[in-house]
Amino acid sequence: MFVKYLKYGCGLVVLMLLSWLVFFLMSKPQDNPYMRLYSSVNGTGSPGCEFLNEKRPNVHFKFKLSAQECRFVFYGGGEGIKFYVDYPSSAVVFPRLEKGIQIYFFMTRISRDEYDASRHLVGKSPISVSDGIELYDMNDYKERKFVGEDGVSVIASDFLATIRASRLYAPDLLVFYQYPKELTDVKAMDRFALEVLRKIVVE
């Protein structure tokens, strides 16, 4: 009797494992209820996608991307959206699936009039200024402030292994992007970030 139940239990485990395997094989990144694919986005003639949650009418994101790249964008119906971009090709990729350097992007919508990138620096003086870059000592890390080529203030914070930058883009997008610290030219990386945004963001 014990052997009978043991065989039954083993069979059940195998069945469950097979079911999970089928689930993972069939589950694809495109199974996102908040995504809509377009053959031509905003009449550009290029494919694209839109991410929106009907419960958040003021939150929506539209991109000019291939259907495959759209499926690599992460949006769960909240305030923000994220994706990873290959450097230097600027292709949107699935995280850690591709070799090479990946730049992490996170975007959320804000009121431009209420946003002040330098608010936390009030009362502080830079410890150095070089090539238009102000360097601040924030105790646990260093922070740099400069003006991007589009005239927008950029804040780049140095952490242990990465640099995280933030800036405004378009009318109301607050963009964070993060990259390996080995990429030391913060102005060049901001130009790359701008190139990505201009290439894929549709307003």
What is the mean pLDDT of each successive set of 10 residues along the chain, which is 203 residues long? 46 47 42 91 86 93 96 97 97 86 97 86 94 96 97 96 97 97 98 98 91
Give the Cα separation of 168 and 116 in Å (integer). 10
**pTM of the shown model:** 0.82
Q: Which helix (H) or strand (E) holds 184?
A: none
Q: Given the structure tokens 């410890």, which residue do they identify?
A: 127
- Integer angstrom CA distances of residue 14 from 2, 7, 9, 10, 155: 18, 11, 9, 6, 53
